[in-house]
Structure 1
Amino acid sequence: MSVPTPPLVYRPALNGVRAIAVWLVILGHWTRLPFPVSSMGRITFFVLSGYLISGIIWKQRIHPNAAGPWWRRLGTFYQRRMIRILPPYYATLVLGALLPLATLHQHPGWFILPLPNLLFYHLQHWGEGVGHYWTMAVDEQFYLVWPFLLGLTGRRAGWFLAVAAASLLFRLGWSAWVTPNFVFVLLPSCLDMFATGALLRIVEHHPRVRQWARGRWVVLAWLAWGGLWAATHLADAPTLWILVYTTVGSGAAFITLSWVLHLPNAKQPKGTHFLSSSLLQWVGQRSYGCYLYHLMLPVIYQRVVYRVFAATETRQLWLSPLPTVLLLLPVLLLVAAASWHWFEAPLDRLKNRLAYS
């Protein structure tokens, strides 16, 4: 009888990064700020996923050509991912169908599979309350292909630089020959972020990487990314921004995560850095629930406002960014806490009982 495999070393600071990244996305969606703070969170989250998932695959040897019955461990990997991710996701689909959300009723199969990123590319517009599901679809497609890609590349840094370059070239070629619209929702367009995370897993202890692991370089990297956004929009070149922002942002996220990984006490269960604070740890643990429900709540809120208030000015006041954030933030945290306590935590315990050996 096999014993459950212990997880990789838990780093509270990375859980804090997850909390901040998810809430950057949420606040960006709720407030609709002109500056793409939501993209900062999404890029960081994808790079972090590449870092963590690559570490699991290499440690547990669940890629082709690994020693032993790698295909059995691969099956366990998929089971663990499905148990942790899909039941909460399907629960939100049920809620969305009851609201009802039109896109779910018109195209249910795309969400059940799940392939909403391909649906939104096909429709060339977002669905009401479900537009954020494209990132979850990309994440799940990434889980499917990444073990096989790592079986081909091994732990050679050059290969992941090549994957990142290929992702950029895919966006350029697809935009030139097909269309730049919604190209960023396709999995090949996102591989530069995942590859950057895998690259960080390989080189995180390299002396040169340690030299860049400084807070000032984190600030400068994101300022450069923001400067690129400003330059492309002032030059009326939004298509250029769409083509390059994830690649440039991946570099900023690489430096950010390098800094976090080299913080003092980064590996301690209770670090002293603000990223290891109790609040961020609590939010980070419930970040999946926050993300799942965050676009449905504004839909419900908007319908309530339109039912309660008849005057257009009053509706606009209540639907402006500040009231929306102040009212929905505690509601979302309560929903995420309930989801974690009654649903996600039991699933997490069930997942951890599955052994790779």
Structure 2
Amino acid sequence: MHAQRHQTTRAGQPLPALPYNPALDGLRAVAILLVILSHAHAPLFDGAFYGVDLFFVLSGYLITTLLLQEWQQSGRLDYWRFYRRRLWRLMPALVLFLLAYCIFAPLLWPGMTDMYTDALVSLLYLADYGIAFFDSPDTLLHMWSLSVEEHFYLVWPPLLVLLARVTQPGKLWRPMLALFLLAWAWRVLWVVQGQQFYEIFFRFDTRATGLLAGGLLATLLRERPAWFEALRQRLVHFMWLVLAVPLLMAQAWDDMNAMVWGMTVVECATVVVMLALLERRGAIYEMLSAPALVTLGRLSYGIYLWHYPVVRWLRADLPWPAVVALGLAISTLLAALSYYGLERWALRRRDAAAAPRSRPRKAEGELHLCTRSQG
């Protein structure tokens, strides 16, 4: 996966690829470990659902960076190329997982009657609103975050182009910041109006802040306004914000504080960590570049797909430490089989379809996002 060719425009001109940063894979590994701890019902990790917010910030940053690169180089976006690449990256692994689920779910849960409906809702990327308002899917509850990201992929490219067209050069960060604040206010509005926690938690329109925070970070790193550069010079002082995240693990499901400020703290802390990782030096970069974490991060999309049914089945009879250990091991094995057996083939097909006729240069690295944002 790390020998990606340059993406190309319709005219065959190569687009720059993002340089590979192993520490970002390490951050994905931390995110997937938090998600598994949450779904295993590990004590002291009730708030580990915040792992998904790490994924959202990463996805928003990487996708927006690629879109801005293309826009600034060619003055346009090739929407078809973008959506085709998303399809080739995400859909093969998802289809394989859902086929396996439809085959084995009746054996694992004999009384289940809605597995095919759950699979269809997941395949159509409707799980976020399906869960929020119709309690479907149930045994594929984790599909909601994939739906959130897919909706972002659909609406963000044309919206980003619109913002770029109507904004002065170097000032795109202003409407991006406004969008982030509006998205936060929109979520808080539903809290104030008394809507149920799960009706807010799962929806794209109320969970867009993480994706927009990542997009804002990508924009600031390209435009580099003076105030942002001044803050970057004082980044060490903002690392204290990261220490607040472990304290949020005590926030349980139904705690509306998570909606009002908890998610915002995690999103801002993730931005701070990413700024440190993008420097490619320092203790945090070295820690998250550990080979074991990088390997988990590379497989994080597949692990995320497979982990929930596995963990749900294991936790019925096993204590939580065994659920975490076995759930991670089994999910990683299945993700590796999916990746090396199917996904790498799909990535080759994707890149071959986009390659120019002349021999392409090798890129320094490849974007592969976890959900996921992955690829």
TM-score by length of 1: 0.81
Q: Deviations over 1:178-208 (max 9, x none)?
A: 7233212111212211111112112246433
Between the aligned partners of 2:280 and 2:63, the Cα distance in structure 1 is 21
Gaps of 5+ in 2: 1-10, 107-111, 165-170, 357-375
1:126, CA displacement in angstroms? 6.3
**Number of corresponding residues:** 328
- Counterpart in 1 of 2:85? 80
- Aligned residue among 266, 290, 300 for 1:287: 300
Query: For 1:1-357, what aligned pairs fall within 5 Å after superposition?
Result: 2=12, 5=15, 7-61=17-71, 67=75, 70=77, 73-98=78-103, 99-100=105-106, 102-124=113-135, 127-128=138-139, 130-154=140-164, 156-177=172-193, 179-182=195-198, 183-204=200-221, 206-214=228-236, 217-218=238-239, 220-225=240-245, 227=247, 238-264=255-281, 273-301=286-314, 315=317, 319-355=318-354
1:116, CA displacement in angstroms? 0.6
* Counterpart residue type for residue 326 of structure 1: A
Runs of 4+ that moved beyond 6 A: none
Given the superposition, is the C-alpha separation of residues 58 and 251 from structure 1 closer, same or farther in structure 2, using an over 3 Å criterion?
same
Given the superposition, is the C-alpha separation of residues 177 and 37 from structure 1 closer, same or farther in structure 2, using an over 3 Å criterion?
closer
1:121, CA displacement in angstroms? 0.7
Between the aligned partners of 2:203 and 2:46, the Cα distance in structure 1 is 19
1:166, CA displacement in angstroms? 1.1
Between the aligned partners of 2:330 and 2:118, the Cα distance in structure 1 is 28
8 Å Cα contact 2:36-2:328 kept in structure 1? no
Between the aligned partners of 1:196 and 1:356, the Cα distance in structure 2 is 32
8 Å Cα contact 1:40-1:249 kept in structure 2? yes
Between the aligned partners of 1:85 and 1:295, the Cα distance in structure 2 is 17
8 Å Cα contact 1:229-1:241 kept in structure 2? no
Between the aligned partners of 2:157 and 2:21, the Cα distance in structure 1 is 23
1:41, CA displacement in angstroms? 1.8
3-state SS of 1:294 partner:
helix
Between the aligned partners of 1:14 and 1:176, the Cα distance in structure 2 is 35
8 Å Cα contact 1:124-1:181 kept in structure 2? no
Between the aligned partners of 2:254 and 2:331, the Cα distance in structure 1 is 36
* Counterpart residue type for residue 96 of structure 2: A
1:4, CA displacement in angstroms? 6.1
Once structures 1 and 2 are overlaid, which stretch shifts more, 249-258 or 347-356?
Answer: 347-356
Once structures 1 and 2 are overlaid, which stretch shifts more, 90-99 or 346-355?
Answer: 346-355
Task: Answer 1 or 2: which has greater helix percent.
Answer: 1
Between the aligned partners of 1:86 and 1:237, the Cα distance in structure 2 is 32
Q: In percent, how many aligned pairs have the same letter? A: 27
3-state SS of 1:33 partner:
coil
8 Å Cα contact 1:76-1:354 kept in structure 2? no
Given the superposition, is the C-alpha separation of residues 116 and 237 from structure 1 closer, same or farther in structure 2, using an over 3 Å criterion?
closer
Gaps of 5+ in 1: 304-314
Larger relative CO (CA 8 A, sep 6+): 1 or 2?
2
1:163, CA displacement in angstroms? 1.1
Between the aligned partners of 1:285 and 1:330, the Cα distance in structure 2 is 15
Between the aligned partners of 1:141 and 1:103, the Cα distance in structure 2 is 24
Between the aligned partners of 1:237 and 1:187, the Cα distance in structure 2 is 18
CA RMSD of aligned residues (A): 3.0
TM-score by length of 2: 0.78
Given the superposition, is the C-alpha separation of residues 106 and 78 from structure 1 closer, same or farther in structure 2, using an over 3 Å criterion?
closer
Between the aligned partners of 2:46 and 2:242, the Cα distance in structure 1 is 12
Between the aligned partners of 1:211 and 1:83, the Cα distance in structure 2 is 39
